[in-house]
Amino acid sequence: MAAHTYTDNDIYLAADFLKANVPAELYPKVGVICGSGLGGLAGSLENTVEFKYEEIPGFPVSTVAGHAGKLVFGLISGKPTVCMVGRFHFYEGHLLKLTVLPVRVMSLMGVETLFVTNAAGSLNHEKCKVGDIMIIEDHINIPGMAGNNPLIGANLSSFGPRFPPVNDAYPRELRSLAIRAARELDIRQYIREGVYCFVSGPSYESPAEARMMRALGGDVIGMSTVPEVVVARHCGMKVLGFSLVTNFVVTRRERTADEESPEFSLPPEDNVETPNHEEVLAVGNMRSNDMQNLVKKIVELM
């Protein structure tokens, strides 16, 4: 697929179209980006109005199986909310600026709090088990540090400053609220907090890369979310992020001294199964109700 061309004007094309077609009482204050297998979140909305991405001028179209591709406007406990069902990934060949366009559009429509969800692989096998939901407390932006930050280029100063901070991207009050909501729903035992590491994909990590990311402080790893969060922070939004742990990343242990010796030089075996997209979607489906209820409950408590 050829990369979609992009100009900053596409942000305004999309926002103007949506403002003209969404009833004013549904202009959202809360935005939700639904990750792999988590599109069911949009089912929590009432009085919905929805738009397929291809109907929205300026919008890219998502190409990954399991990502439906629509914006759903509606109410959660009376609060106007928009759900993005299916997001855009850098690995699809989109410009990074295009992958984050919906976040800017949400900002123009009035979104102040953004929930981001994703499927992620666990690097920290002790802490983050398959089926756990990790509240993102911080991130590592590997492509960003290597020159692929969505804010590179002329600053869109009507949205935010040239050099926005991200140390406060995931405010503590929102993370505390998430824990409170999880307690009320009796799912606190599946909740972790930790560091999300963003890589471009689409190939999964090699074991040496996974050990490196673990050594650098990553608890889970995935191919989305961080560019959206950086842009949300640029727009002055508050962010609450959740990673649903869908698989263990193969980290393969180091060789022991015995294994290094000439008499006994068997290569070490992989410690966990090879990850695959079907498994990611299956765990997403298994936990999507919990994730849906969690987001709903937090919006209620907000």
* From 149, 184, 277, 293, the catalytic residue: 277
Catalytic site includes residue 247 = yes
Q: Where are the alpha helices (DSSP H) in the chain?
A: 9-21, 96-99, 101-109, 142-145, 172-184, 207-215, 226-234, 257-260, 277-301
The separation between the first and the last C-alpha atoms of the chain, rounded to the nearest angstrom, is 41
The answer to whether 284 and 36 are in contact (CB under 8 A) is: yes
User: Stretches 18-26, 94-102, 163-171, 221-229: which one binds ligand HPA (CB under 6 A)?
Assistant: 221-229
Q: In one letter, which amino acid is 255?
A: R
Catalytic site includes residue 261 = no
Site for ligand HPA in 44-83 (CB under 6 A): none
d(CA 281, CA 268): 29
Among 191, 223, 294, 302, which residue sits at the site for ligand HPA (rule: CB under 6 A)?
223
Which DSSP category does 120 fall into? E
Among 45, 249, 294, 302, which residue sits at the site for ligand HPA (rule: CB under 6 A)?
249
Catalytic site includes residue 125 = no
Three-class SS state of 209: helix
Among 138, 179, 275, 286, which residue sits at the site for ligand HPA (rule: CB under 6 A)?
275
| Position 182 contacts ligand HPA (CB under 6 A) | no
Nearer to ligand HPA, 87 or 296 (CB): 87
Catalytic site includes residue 224 = yes
For the CB of residue 201, give the shortest distance to ligand HPA in the complex, in Å: 6
Which DSSP category does 110 fall into? T
Residue with token string 């609450």: 240
Phi, psi of 61 (to 5 degrees): -120, 130
Three-class SS state of 14: helix
In the bound complex, which residue of the shown chain has the CB atom lying closest to ligand HPA? 121
* From 224, 232, 243, 291, the catalytic residue: 224
| Position 120 contacts ligand HPA (CB under 6 A) | yes
For the CB of residue 302, give the shortest distance to ligand HPA in the complex, in Å: 28
Q: In sequence order, which residues have a C-beta less than 8 Å from that of residue 3 and are 6 or more positions away?
A: 93, 94, 95, 98
Residue with token string 């397929």: 52
Catalytic site includes residue 223 = yes
Q: Residue 205, annotated ligand binder?
A: yes
For the CB of residue 119, give the shortest distance to ligand HPA in the complex, in Å: 4
Q: In sequence order, which residues have a C-beta less than 8 Å from that of residue 215 and are 6 or more positions away?
A: none
| Position 204 contacts ligand HPA (CB under 6 A) | yes
Catalytic site includes residue 126 = no
Three-class SS state of 215: helix
Question: For binding to ligand HPA (CB under 6 A), which residues are involved?
Answer: 119-121, 201, 204-205, 221-223, 246-247, 249, 275, 280
Residues taking part in catalysis: 36, 67, 89, 91-92, 119, 223-224, 247, 277
Q: Summarize the annotated binding site for phosphate as residue ranges.
A: 36, 67, 87-89, 119, 224
Q: Summarize the annotated binding site for a purine D-ribonucleoside as residue ranges.
A: 205, 247
